[in-house]
Amino acid sequence: MTAELDEVVAANAELYAAFEEGDVDRMEAVWDDADDVVCVHPGWPMLRGRARVLRSWSVIMANTNYIQFFLTGVDAVIDADTAVVTCEENFLTAVADPDGALSESAKVVSTNVFRRRGDGWRLWLHHGSPVLAPSEEPSSD
């Protein structure tokens, strides 16, 4: 893997590290400053615009007691100043209930598109979606 790809993979990991820490400042630094950023949380409609996207992350992080990611299948492709990263987000999260914290695990598949800026790769598009199907192959072939 080239040094350039390493940088993109590190930028991708930083998205999940910011989420795990619930750190709004780090999350703001992950995202591009441009106002055409796009974000799809799993099962959500498409959110456009930096203010709206960052607000959604603040709400999600404020409502997440604990989350830990294990990324698998991370693949990065760079063309000029655009990088496309795909990965699987395997995560454990703590769900608060009247009897105490309950741990849940789930899987989301994600596409993350980064732009090269003067200070490094910044996230322009995040698209995460829930894996609802039971297997990797359609059953009818």
Binding region for its own copies (CB under 8 A): 36, 38, 40, 42-48, 52, 55-56, 58-60, 62-63, 73, 75, 77, 79-82, 84, 86, 88, 107, 109, 111, 113, 115, 125, 127-133, 135-138, 140-141
Question: Least distance in Å: CB of 115 to its own copies?
Answer: 8
Closest CB to its own copies among residues 50, 115? 115
Rounded Cα gap, residues 132 and 66, in angstroms: 22
Closest CB to its own copies among residues 29, 84? 84
Question: Least distance in Å: CB of 97 to its own copies?
Answer: 17
Closest CB to its own copies among residues 68, 111? 111
Closest CB to its own copies among residues 3, 80? 80
Long-range own/partner contacts, residues 119-122 (CB < 8 A, 24 or more apart): 120/7, 120/11, 121/7, 121/8, 121/11, 121/83, 122/11, 122/30, 122/31, 122/32, 122/33
- Contact present, 64 and 82 (Cβ < 8 Å): no
Listing DSSP states for 19-68 in one string gives HHHT-HHHHHHHB-SSTT-EEE-TTPPPEESHHHHHHHHHHHHHT-SEEE
Question: Least distance in Å: CB of 141 to its own copies?
Answer: 5
Question: Least distance in Å: CB of 52 to its own copies?
Answer: 8
